[in-house]
């Protein structure tokens, strides 16, 4: 930019307070009314309380957050259709999920379904019921008896059992009567058509499409609602398997097992031991780590010959395999994803990293230990992070630093002040390094407050270019990859990995994000004790992620809701 | 049983004792003349279109002191004002359609101090251009760029305005389509430009085949379709008990969902004859070709009366589309920020070429009276701010294209530096025949139409 431009900018900046940028902790929101209160919390440096009873329900001083009404995510909807009707269903396109605050569940509980989305549900219900009921074998398997007359006992019994599964609770007498009446009135040309339409109707009911978890007044505490056994079955199932409850969960709810901690723990542990939990854990990590942003990343093939069209998928798969390894095979400290030298590469990632990976092919990922004397160590030195936080043609220490602050440490980076040029690294000099361009962030008083917070950890990755390839020179100049985190000087990304290994903010951030994902909303300020307590349990469990899921599933903060409407 | 679940609606459009009665008249027979064109020209009522492109235009001195310091010329504003102005460089692609253009306009809405960041063009400029109001100030979170609207975008405002369709509802109140799939974020207004209200978005149809099926693949098994329609009464009734137990916000969400069921029921009941469509097209990554394909489908749909309102999102707000075909290496949003003026100029020019192709498709169909869809249309072209380097909301682009059924003057340029952007809204709403004493909200109110725009 020109000199005069900078002068204008500094004049504007003079009016801007040079407040410290760092905002630890998470902003919180009052859930379902959209009221959103930015706030600053302590960062938990002193460590959370650990004196709670590690087996009890915990966090008695916490006030639960409000209820929400999430619509099923696209995956939950499809999985539930298959659970109800069996496999081999025709495609059922639905309104795409959205992910405000990173999580699809938050989008599902805040957005309103569009007219097109509603009509997609209508068409899907028609299509899948035809697929099942037009086939005598399939419909017999589903219904289990042969309807004779419209609305007969076969139909009545089936609708009660199907309805209980679709609504995730027994139908009320009114509801049962309604669908029975539909099946009779629309039994044209025969009783089967009536049954089909009753099923199609239930599949369009808000009781199926939304997670109606309203709770009942807690007899011991009138300020709280307590989720019923059936509601807990749904909460566990959608959290741990992304699908409606299975028969065992329904049976547990019938028996009242899900009204107490031990019963919930038993079910949660059963579900986490099942293969289906792996996909949901992957889904959480992909959202928490914002991996969706790698999709469709492209690089100029001349400038970045190693970055193929399939590279974004390879980079994403690498992170998934690493997470799966730590969570489900090693049962290790999940924070180690940020510092381990272990990773999983296919042939093109091995080439990108310049390492040997015997047995790797385009579709075969093999485990490798990154070399001790090499530059890579942990997730933040792998392709996905490095690429999705860079531009097509250059690195972005600001984007990389912002990711570390927001995603890894759950800190809040405020917006740039008004009327300030937010991109000072416009093409200017030849041979200038990114570090030199970014110096303007630190010279300009309007920028320095925040960029001293964001840029120094991001500069640690300057030895990796915009495609994640290691480099020793940038524009012919040796790369300087030094930086710092909160004033602790570091030589490069490996130093940061070592530091994050024991940083208490990393685990607490995971707890916070998992809590938001599980609740389908941001945490409220009143829920800080719940998050503290979960963090303490996470620490006590040596940061094993599956243990955290069990602690969350059994926690009072997950089993209760605020009795009155949020203000 | 004494009570019937069909009682909620009249029986005649549904099913009685298994027989189908009273379906709507076949559309084509009712509305088309022997040549397949609509016979009654301008009397068919006006068409409203909303055309949106990302990242404004290349910056110049009109956008602010910093932008002036780059010394770049204004390629947007025509040199002369009034009717018959000579088009500027960036308006040249549109010249065949004689766009009426207002320059110099800017949002007049208030900007609350907290939470901070609400003055950003991506937020403020977008929301004023599309809704006439500021963003919803509570619930806004700049660090995650999360925001929503206070009210509907212009396409939905028109489509649901009681005077626009009156009792003569077409198959679709509106069609919401788009071209580029690139997104800055996968939520909120980064994803879609068409709002029904707070947190209620219409994501655009981006796949030509999906739009084709929606418009033309109409089920023909009438008794079955009638039962599908009748079934929705039971679905709506089933939700009634639920609503009473929800908080206000969720009750509104469910109510809106149920209102959509009414609309779908109405559409199913109209199912009796398809509008004759072209063959199902394939998707393409080329934005110009795709705009042409989508424009062609829209033209057929408008021509046979399937709707009179559409929105077209060429590129999404803060688009990350990579215009490698124009030699632009970085994504569009980054390219703006990096100050690549020439590349932003090239992309803006390309956006205008796409706009022209859409308008070409709508102008192509002419009925025997010589009236084209563009003669009936008011197509409002706009973007999210003036320019994308600094996100200035000065000099926001506003184009009104078409004859508006004789209500809109073609080929006029009005220059109104610092003028209230909602003057465009007042103008276009009045051109559509909607009684509009004023428009704009929270400091953005105005009762002025742009001078010389209305016939």
Listed by start position, the domains of chain A span: 74-209
Whether B224 and B331 share a structural domain: no
pLDDT score, position A430: 52
Q: What is the CATH number of the domain that holds B371?
A: 3.40.720
pLDDT score, position B244: 87
Among B18, B64, B66, pick the best mutation site for testing chain A contact (most A Cβ within 10 A): B66
pLDDT, tens only, A96-116: 999 999 999 999 999 999 999
* B390, closest residue in chain A (CA to CA): A421
B236 confidence band (pLDDT: 50, 70, 90):
very high
Q: What is the mean pLDDT of residues B215-238?
A: 91
Distance CA B368, CA B21 (A): 35
Q: Are B135 and B124 in contact (CB under 8 A)?
A: yes
Whether B159 and B264 share a structural domain: no
B450 is a domain residue: no
B87 is a domain residue: yes
ipTM of predicted complex: 0.90
Asked if the model's pLDDT at residue B296 lies above 80, the reply is yes
CB contact (8 A) between residue B256 and residue A2: no
Angle of helix B222-243 versus helix A173-185 axis, rounded to 10: 170
What is the percent of chain B with per-residue pLDDT over 90, rounded to a whole number? Answer: 78
Smallest CA-to-CA distance from B258 within A94, A181, A118 is with A118
CB contact (8 A) between residue B241 and residue A174: yes
Whether B404 and B328 share a structural domain: yes
User: Which ranges of chain A have pLDDT less than 50?
Assistant: 1-20, 25-56, 425-429, 566-567
Distances in whole angstroms, Cα of residue A422 to Cα of each of A411, A425, B62, B391, B455: 20, 9, 19, 10, 44
Whether B194 and B267 share a structural domain: no
Which of B208, B242, B273 corresponds to the end of one domain?
Answer: B273
CB contact (8 A) between residue B238 and residue A419: no
Quote the pTM value.
0.90
Q: What is the mean pLDDT of residues B176-203?
A: 96
Interface of A with B in 211-230 (CB under 8 A): 212, 214
Distance CA B109, CA A203 (A): 44
Please report residues of A whose CB lies closer than 8 A to that of B201: 111-112, 114
CB contact (8 A) between residue B115 and residue A418: no
Whether B155 and B74 share a structural domain: yes
B105 is a domain residue: yes
Distance from the Cα of A79 to chain B's closest Cα (Å) equals 22
CB contact (8 A) between residue B238 and residue A181: no
Beta strands A221-226 and A342-345 are unpaired
CB-nearest partner of B231 from A98, A186, A392: A186
Q: Which domain holds residue B334?
A: 48-217+277-431
Please report residues of A whose CB lies closer than 8 A to that of B245: 214
What is the percent of chain B with per-residue pLDDT over 70, rounded to a whole number? Answer: 90
CB contact (8 A) between residue B139 and residue A300: no
Whether B63 and B114 share a structural domain: yes
Whether B241 and B310 share a structural domain: no
A493 vs B278, which has greater pLDDT?
Answer: A493
pLDDT score, position A80: 98
DSSP character at residue A475: T
pLDDT, tens only, A32-90: 333 333 333 333 333 333 344 444 455 567 899 999 999 999 999 999 999 999 999 99
pLDDT score, position B43: 60
Distances in whole angstroms, Cα of residue A110 to Cα of each of A283, A462, B148: 20, 39, 11
**Total number of domains in chain B:** 2
Count of A–B CB contacts within 8 Å? 220
Whether B175 and B199 share a structural domain: yes
CB contact (8 A) between residue A206 and residue B242: yes
B122 is a domain residue: yes
Whether B243 and B99 share a structural domain: no
Confirm or reject contact between B227 and chain A (CB < 8 A): yes
pLDDT score, position A565: 58
B446 is a domain residue: no
Whether B67 and B154 share a structural domain: yes
B2 is a domain residue: no
Question: Residues of A515-524 as b/e, b for ≥16 C-beta within 10 angstroms?
Answer: bbbbbbbbbb
Whether B295 and B264 share a structural domain: no
pLDDT score, position B108: 98
pLDDT score, position B426: 98
pLDDT score, position A216: 95
Whether B253 and B316 share a structural domain: no
Mean pLDDT of chain B: 89
């Amino acid at each position: 930019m020109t000199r005069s431009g900078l002068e204008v900018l500094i004049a504007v900046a003079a009016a801007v307070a040079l407040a410290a940028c760092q905002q630890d902790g998470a902003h919180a929101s009052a859930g379902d009314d959209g009221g959103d209160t930015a706030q600053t919390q302590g960062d938990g440096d002193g460590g959370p309380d650990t004196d709670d009873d590690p087996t009890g329900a915990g966090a008695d001083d916490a006030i639960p957050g409000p209820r929400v009404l999430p619509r099923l995510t696209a995956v939950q909807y499809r999985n539930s259709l298959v659970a109800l009707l069996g496999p081999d269903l025709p495609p059922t396109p639905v309104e795409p999920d959205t992910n405000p605050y990173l999580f699809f569940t938050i989008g599902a509980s805040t957005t309103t379904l569009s007219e097109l989305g509603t009509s997609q549900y209508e068409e899907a219900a028609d299509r899948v019921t035809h697929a099942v009921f037009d086939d005598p074998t399939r419909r017999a398997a589903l219904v289990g008896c042969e309807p004779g007359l419209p609305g007969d006992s076969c139909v009545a019994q089936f609708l009660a059992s199907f309805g209980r599964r679709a609504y995730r609770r027994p139908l009320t007498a009114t509801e049962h009567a309604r669908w029975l009446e539909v099946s009779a009135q629309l039994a044209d040309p025969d009783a089967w058509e009536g049954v089909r339409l009753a099923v199609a109707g239930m599949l369009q009911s808000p009781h199926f499409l939304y997670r109606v978890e309203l709770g009942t007044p807690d007899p011991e505490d009138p300020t709280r609602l307590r989720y019923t056994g059936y509601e807990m079955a749904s909460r566990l199932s959608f959290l741990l398997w992304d699908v409606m409850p299975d028969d065992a969960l329904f049976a547990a709810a019938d028996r009242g097992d899900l009204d107490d901690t031990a019963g919930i723990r038993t079910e949660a542990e059963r579900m986490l031991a099942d293969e289906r939990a792996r996909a949901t854990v992957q889904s959480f990590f992909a959202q928490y780590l914002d991996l969706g942003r790698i999709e469709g990343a492209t690089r100029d093939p001349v400038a970045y010959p190693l970055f193929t069209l399939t590279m974004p998928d390879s980079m994403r798969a690498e992170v998934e395999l690493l997470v799966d390894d730590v969570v489900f095979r090693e049962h290790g400290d999940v924070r180690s994803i940020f510092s381990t030298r272990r990773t999983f590469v296919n042939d093109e990632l091995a080439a990108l990293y310049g390492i040997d990976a015997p047995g790797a092919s385009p579709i075969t990922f093999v485990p490798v230990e990154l070399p001790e004397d090499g530059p890579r160590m942990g997730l933040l030195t792998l392709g996905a992070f490095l690429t999705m936080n860079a531009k097509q043609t250059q690195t972005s220490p600001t984007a990389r630093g912002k990711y570390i602050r927001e995603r890894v440490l759950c800190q809040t980076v405020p917006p740039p002040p008004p009327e300030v040029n937010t991109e000072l690294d416009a093409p200017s000099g030849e041979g200038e390094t990114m570090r030199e361009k970014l110096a303007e962030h630190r010279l300009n008083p309007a920028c320095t407050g925040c960029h001293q917070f964001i840029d120094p950890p991001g500069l640690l990755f300057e030895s990796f270019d915009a495609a994640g390839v290691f480099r020793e020179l940038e524009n012919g100049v040796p790369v300087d990859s030094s930086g710092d985190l909160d004033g602790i000087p570091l030589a490069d990304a490996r130093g940061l990995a070592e530091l994050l290994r024991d940083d208490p903010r990393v685990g607490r951030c995971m707890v916070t994000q998992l809590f938001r994902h599980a609740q389908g909303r941001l945490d409220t300020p009143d829920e800080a004790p719940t998050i503290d307590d979960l963090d303490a349990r996470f620490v006590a469990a040596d940061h094993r992620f599956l243990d955290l899921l069990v602690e969350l599933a059994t926690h009072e903060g997950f089993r209760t809701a605020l009795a009155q409407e949020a203000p | 049983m004494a009570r019937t679940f069909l009682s909620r609606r009249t029986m005649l459009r549904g099913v009685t004792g298994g027989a189908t009665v009273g379906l709507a008249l076949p559309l084509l027979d009712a509305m088309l003349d022997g040549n397949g064109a609509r016979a009654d020209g301008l009397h068919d009522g006006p068409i409203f279109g909303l055309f949106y492109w990302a990242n404004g235009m290349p910056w110049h001195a009109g956008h602010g002191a910093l932008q002036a310091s780059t010394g770049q010329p204004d390629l947007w504003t025509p040199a002369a004002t009034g009717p018959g102005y000579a088009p500027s460089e960036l308006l040249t692609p549109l010249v065949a359609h004689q766009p009426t253009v207002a320059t110099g306009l800017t949002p007049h809405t208030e900007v609350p101090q907290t939470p901070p960041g609400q003055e950003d063009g991506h937020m403020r400029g977008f929301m004023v251009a599309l809704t006439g109001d500021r963003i919803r100030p509570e619930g806004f979170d700049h660090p995650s760029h999360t925001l929503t609207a206070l009210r509907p975008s212009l396409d939905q405002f028109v489509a649901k305005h009681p005077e626009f369709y009156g009792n003569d509802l077409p198959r679709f109140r509106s069609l919401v389509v788009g071209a580029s799939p690139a997104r800055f974020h996968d939520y909120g207004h980064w994803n879609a430009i068409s709002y029904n209200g707070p947190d209620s978005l219409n994501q655009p149809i981006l796949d030509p085949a999906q739009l084709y099926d929606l418009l033309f693949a109409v089920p023909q098994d009438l008794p079955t379709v009638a039962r599908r329609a009748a079934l929705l009464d039971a679905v709506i009734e089933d939700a009634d008990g639920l609503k009473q137990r929800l908080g206000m916000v969720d009750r509104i969400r469910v109510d809106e969902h149920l209102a959509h069921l009414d609309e779908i029921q109405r559409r199913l009941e109209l199912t009796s004859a398809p509008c004759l469509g072209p063959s199902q097209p394939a998707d393409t990554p080329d934005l110009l070709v795709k705009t042409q394909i989508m424009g062609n489908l829209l033209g057929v749909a408008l021509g046979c009366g399937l709707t009179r309102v559409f929105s077209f999102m060429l590129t999404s707000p803060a688009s990350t589309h990579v215009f490698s075909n124009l030699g632009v290496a970085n994504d569009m949003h980054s390219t703006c920020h990096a100050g690549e003026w020439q590349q932003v100029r090239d992309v803006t020019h390309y956006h205008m070429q796409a706009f022209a192709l859409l308008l070409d498709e709508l102008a192509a169909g002419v009925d025997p009276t010589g009236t084209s869809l563009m003669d009936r249309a008011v197509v409002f072209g706009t973007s999210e701010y003036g320019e994308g380097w600094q996100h200035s909301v000065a000099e926001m682009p506003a184009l009104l294209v078409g004859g508006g059924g004789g209500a809109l003057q073609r080929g006029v340029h009005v220059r109104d530096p610092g003028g209230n952007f909602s003057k465009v809204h007042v103008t276009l709403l009045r051109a559509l025949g909607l009684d509009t004493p004023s428009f704009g909200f929270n400091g953005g109110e105005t009762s002025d139409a742009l001078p010389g725009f209305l016939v």
